[in-house]
Amino acid sequence: MKIAVLCGGISPERDVSLSTGSQVAMALKKKGHSVALIDSAADYPDGFDALFTAEARGAGTGIGESAPDISSLLTRGGYFGKNVVEILKSADIVFNAMHGAAGEDGTLQASLDLMGIKYTGSGAKGCSVSMDKTVTKRMLAPVKNVRMPRGIHVMRDEFGLDPQNTLKTVITEVGLPLVVKPACGGSSVGVSIVNDAAELKKAFELSLSYEPKAVVEEFVDGREFSCGVLGDTALPPIEIKPRSGFYDYRNKYQQGLTEEICPAHISERAANEMKLAALTVHRELGLSAYSRTDFRMTSDGVIYALEANTLPGMTAMSLIPQEAAAVGIGFGELCETIIAESLKKYDKA
Ligand X SMILES: Nc1ncnc2c1ncn2[C@@H]1O[C@H](COP(=O)(O)OP(=O)(O)O)[C@@H](O)[C@H]1O
Q: Exactly one of 296, 313, 318, 342 is catalytic; name it.
A: 313
End-to-end CA gap in the chain: 21
3-state secondary structure 221-263: CCEEEEEEEECCEECCCEEEEECCCCCCHHHHHCCCCEEEECC
Q: Between residues 154 and 306, which has the closer beta carbon with respect to ligand X?
A: 306
Q: Decide if 71 is catalytic.
A: no
- Partner in contact with 8, chosen from ligand X, Mg ion, none, beta carbon below 5 to 8 Å by kind: none
- Partner in contact with 41, chosen from ligand X, Mg ion, none, beta carbon below 5 to 8 Å by kind: none
* Rounded distance between C-alpha atoms, residue 241 and residue 258, angstroms: 5
User: Quick one: angle between helices 319-326 and 331-348, nearest 10?
Assistant: 100
* Rounded distance between C-alpha atoms, residue 81 and residue 66, angstroms: 25
Give the ranges where the chain is alpha helix by DSSP (H).
14-30, 71-74, 84-90, 101-104, 107-114, 124-131, 133-140, 156-161, 163-174, 200-210, 249-253, 268-284, 319-326, 331-348
Among residues 217, 273, 323, 341, which is the contact residue for ligand X, using CB under 6 A?
217
Of the listed pieces 28-36, 72-80, 183-191, 279-287, which binds ligand X according to CB under 6 A?
183-191
Q: Decide if 313 is catalytic.
A: yes
CA dihedral 260, 23, 60, 9 (to 10 degrees): -90
Among residues 273, 307, 336, 341, which is the contact residue for ligand X, using CB under 6 A?
307
Q: What is the nearest approach in angstroms of Mg ion to the Cβ of residue 306?
A: 6
Q: Exactly one of 273, 284, 294, 341 is catalytic; name it.
A: 294
* Rounded distance between C-alpha atoms, residue 330 and residue 321, angstroms: 8
Q: Decide if 341 is catalytic.
A: no
Q: How many CA atoms lie within 13 A of 31 on its CB side?
A: 20
Among residues 188, 280, 288, 315, which is the contact residue for ligand X, using CB under 6 A?
188
Q: What is the nearest approach in angstroms of ligand X to the Cβ of residue 267?
A: 21
Q: Exactly one of 122, 309, 318, 342 is catalytic; name it.
A: 309
Query: Which residues in the 118-177 window bind ligand X by CB under 6 A?
Result: 149
Q: Decide if 307 is catalytic.
A: yes
13 is a contact residue toward Mg ion (CB under 5 A): no
* Rounded distance between C-alpha atoms, residue 36 and residue 33, angstroms: 10
Query: Which residues in the 271-300 window bind Mg ion by CB under 5 A?
Result: 294
Query: Which residues in the 65-104 window bind Mg ion by CB under 5 A?
Result: none
Q: Exactly one of 15, 132, 217, 307 is catalytic; name it.
A: 307
Q: Exactly one of 247, 292, 296, 323 is catalytic; name it.
A: 292
Among residues 15, 104, 224, 323, which is the contact residue for ligand X, using CB under 6 A?
224
Contact 289, 334 (CB under 8 A): no
Among residues 100, 123, 185, 321, which is the contact residue for ligand X, using CB under 6 A?
185
Backbone CA torsion sign across 152, 156, 157, 162:
positive
Distances (CA, A) of 12 to 126, 155, 210: 21, 21, 9
Q: Decide if 173 is catalytic.
A: no
Chain positions contacting ligand X, by CB under 6 A: 149, 179, 181, 185-188, 191, 217, 219-220, 224, 246-247, 294, 296, 306-307
Chain positions contacting Mg ion, by CB under 5 A: 294
Annotated active-site positions, please?
13, 187, 253, 292, 294, 307, 309, 313
